[in-house]
Chains A and B, each alone.
Chain A
Amino acid sequence: MADFNVSLRGVGPVSVIDVKGYLDAHTAPELENVFNKLLDEKQYRVVVNFNDLKYISSAGLGVFMAYVETMRENKGDIKFSNMTESVYNIFDLLGFPILYEFYKEENEALLKFNEQGKS
Chain B
Amino acid sequence: MGINNFRNLTRARGLENAIVTSILLFLYNIIFPIHDSLILSSINEILVYLTIYFLYSYIFPYLESKTDSPLSLVLNAGILGALVFFIVSISNSVFNSFTVSNGNVNVFNTLFSIVITFVFLGALVYIFSTFRELFFLRQKKDPRTYFNTMLVFFSLAFFSNLLIKIDSSFDYPHDAFFVVSIVLISLNSLRVSWIAFLVKRQKLYLLIISTILSILFGFNFGLLTETNTIRELLYTFSPGLYDVFSLVMIYGMIYFGVIFFTTLFHLPTAEAFDRKAEEVTSLMDLTKLITQVFDFKELAGTITNITAKVCNSYSAWLVTKKNNDYELNSVKDIAYIEADKITRLILAGEENELQRVQTIYYDSVTSDIKNVMNGLKSIAVAPLKVHGEISGFLFTARQRDVNFDEDEKKSLQAFADYAAVALENAKLIAESIEKERMEKELDVARDIQRKILPDRVPETEHLKTSALFIPAFEVGGDYYDFFRLDNSRLGFVVADVSGKGISAAFIMAEVKGIFESLSKLLTNPRELLIKVNDILKDSLDRKNFVTVIYGIIDETTGVLTFARAGHTPALLCSKNKIEKLQPSGIGIGLDYSSEFANTLKEMQIVLANEDIIAFYSDGIPEAKNASDEDFGYNRFEKIILENRTKNLDQISNALMKELSLFSKDHSQHDDITLVLFKWISKN
Give residues in A with beta carbon < 8 Å to B.
24-25, 54-55, 58-59, 61-63, 65-66, 69, 86, 93-96, 98-99
Contact = CB atoms under 8 A, between A and B. Distances in A.
B29 interface: no
B623 to A, nearest CB: 12
Contacts, number: 64
13 contacts: A25-B500, A58-B545, A59-B500, A59-B543, A62-B545, A65-B589, A93-B547, A95-B584, A96-B586, A98-B586, A98-B595, A98-B599, A99-B590
Given A25-B500, A58-B498, A86-B630, A95 B543 contact: no
B545 A65 contact: yes
B590 A63 contact: no
Nearest to A65: B543
Contact of B498 (A61, A69, A95, A99): A61
Main secondary structure of the interface of A (DSSP, over half): helix
Nearest to B477: A58
B78 interface: no
B566 interface: yes
A54 B628 CA distance: 10
A94 B630 contact: no
Contact of A66 (B496, B543, B591): B543
A65 B500 contact: no
Nearest to A86: B630
Nearest to A100: B590
Given A58-B498, A61-B498, A98-B595, A93 B568 contact: yes
Interface string B524-551: 0000000000000000011111010000
Please give me the 5 A-B residue pairs with the lowest Cβ-Cβ distance, nearest first: A95-B586, A62-B543, A58-B498, A66-B543, A94-B566
Contact of B545 (A54, A61, A86): A61
B499 interface: yes
B586 A62 contact: no
Contacts of B595: 98-99
A62 B544 contact: yes
Given A62-B499, A99-B591, 19 more contacts: A58-B545, A59-B500, A59-B543, A62-B541, A65-B545, A65-B590, A66-B542, A93-B568, A93-B569, A93-B582, A94-B547, A94-B587, A95-B565, A95-B587, A95-B599, A98-B586, A98-B591, A99-B586, A99-B595
A68 to B, nearest CB: 9
A93 B567 CA distance: 7
Nearest to B497: A58
User: Quick one: which of A25, A62, A66 has the most chain B CB within 10 A?
Assistant: A62
Interface in B577-625: 582, 584-587, 589-591, 595, 599, 618
A69 B544 CA distance: 14
A25 B542 CA distance: 15
Given A59-B498, A59-B499, A61-B545, A93 B566 contact: yes
Contacts of A25: 499-500
